[in-house]
Amino acid sequence: MDGDPLKMLFLLGALLFGSPLYAAQLNLELGANQRTWQTEDLLKHPQAQTITISDDVSYKKTMSYRAVPLAALLTGIKPGDHLQAVALDGFAAELAAGPLLGTQGSRAWLAIEDPAKPWPALSAGKPSAGPFYLVWTDPQAGHISPEQWPFQVAAIKRLAPVAERFPALLPDPKLKADDPVNQGFALFQKNCLACHRLNGAGDAQVGPDLNIPFNPTEYFGADFLRRYIRDPQSLRQWPQAKMPGFAASVLPDTELEMLVGYLQHMAGRKVKP
């Protein structure tokens, strides 16, 4: 670095306040289609535009972003494919490709943090949602879960489906495909697997394993597990808490019951890592 006092002051401010002084890169690992995007290139993308997100999941308020339709970046991806968005903190969102490719109703966007115009911190002492953040317009139309809004995204990968990669997550194969436990397994993948492992299986590194050594259905009495899923902070409060609440608008009571049913079922299918 040269001795320019303005540059030195800018760097000091970045270090003190967490401003993203340098641009970032997004790695797309889409099978045969590999691509690394730089912040600058994404901000200049021909489909980039400014969008407004009402009641942003992470910021809890209306936010405006410079963003690109995610479908425009998913070269070669088909609706039946399975993707994983990996965040800098170890969050690993498992995502069906179909909703990400949609152009009607709920629409997925990659929001891009401009180093010259950094986003606010998510909370005191924490960084922003950048450098890249997967956001949705009209999320209610597609029943989009909070776990489908990964922030601080570093990579998006095409992978085999969860059931193929992690057989330790599977319910009893004797169950019918439409059994509520299997439906609960699908809900677990959508809402829980981004942060939690189960039986040691999964890629997330944020929350605890939900079966080893004990399943939450084994130590949450009465209706407290359901209450905890709805509003974690109502039962356990600490500054570093990350788990979001799942409102009935996102996870209806019928789906909550199926999710808890899957966890109860898996308590009897423990597999040590």
Q: How many CB atoms lie within 10 A of CB 11?
A: 13
Residue 137 and residue 213 in one domain: no
User: What's the pLDDT tens digit per position in 158-204?
Assistant: 999 999 999 999 999 999 999 999 999 999 998 898 889 999 999 88
User: What's the pLDDT tens digit per position in 203-235?
Assistant: 887 889 999 999 999 999 768 999 999 988 877
Task: Check: CB of residue 65 under 8 Å from CB of residue 48.
Answer: no
- The domain boundary, picked from 139, 159, 179, lies at 159
Report if residue 9 sits inside a domain.
no
Report if residue 3 sits inside a domain.
no
Residue 69 and residue 178 in one domain: no
Place of tokens 């990669």: 165
Report if residue 204 sits inside a domain.
yes
Q: Among 222, 225, 200, which residue's Cα sits nearest to residue 211?
A: 200
DSSP states of the chain as a string?
----HHHHHHHHHHHHH----S--EEEEEETTEEEEEEHHHHHT-TT-EEEEETT-TTTSS-EEEEEEEGGGT-TT--TT-EEEEEETTS-EEEEEHHHHH--SSSEEEEEE-BTTBPPPPSSTT---S-SEEEEEESGGGGT--GGG---SEEEEEEE--HHHH-GGG---TTS-TT-HHHHHHHHHHHHTTTT--BTTBSS--SS--SSSS--HHHHS-TTHHHHHHH-GGGT---TT--PPP--TTTS-HHHHHHHHHHHHHHTTS----
Retrieve residue 188's tokens: 């677990």
Report if residue 121 sits inside a domain.
yes
- The domain boundary, picked from 102, 127, 159, lies at 159
pTM of the predicted model, to two decimals?
0.78
Give me the count of residues in the chain: 273
Residue 226 and residue 206 in one domain: yes
Report if residue 247 sits inside a domain.
yes
Residue 145 and residue 35 in one domain: yes
Task: Check: CB of residue 25 under 8 Å from CB of residue 11.
Answer: no
Residue 38 and residue 148 in one domain: yes
The parent domain of residue 211 ranges over 165-266
Residue 48 and residue 149 in one domain: yes
Residue 154 and residue 66 in one domain: yes
Distance of CA 28 to the CA centre of its chain: 16
Report if residue 1 sits inside a domain.
no
pLDDT along the chain (273 residues), means of 10: 44 44 85 93 97 94 98 96 91 92 95 96 90 96 89 96 94 96 94 90 87 94 87 72 77 94 96 78
Report if residue 273 sits inside a domain.
no
Q: How many CB atoms lie within 10 A of CB 74?
A: 21
Residue 244 and residue 181 in one domain: yes
Specify the number of domains making up the chain.
2
Report if residue 10 sits inside a domain.
no
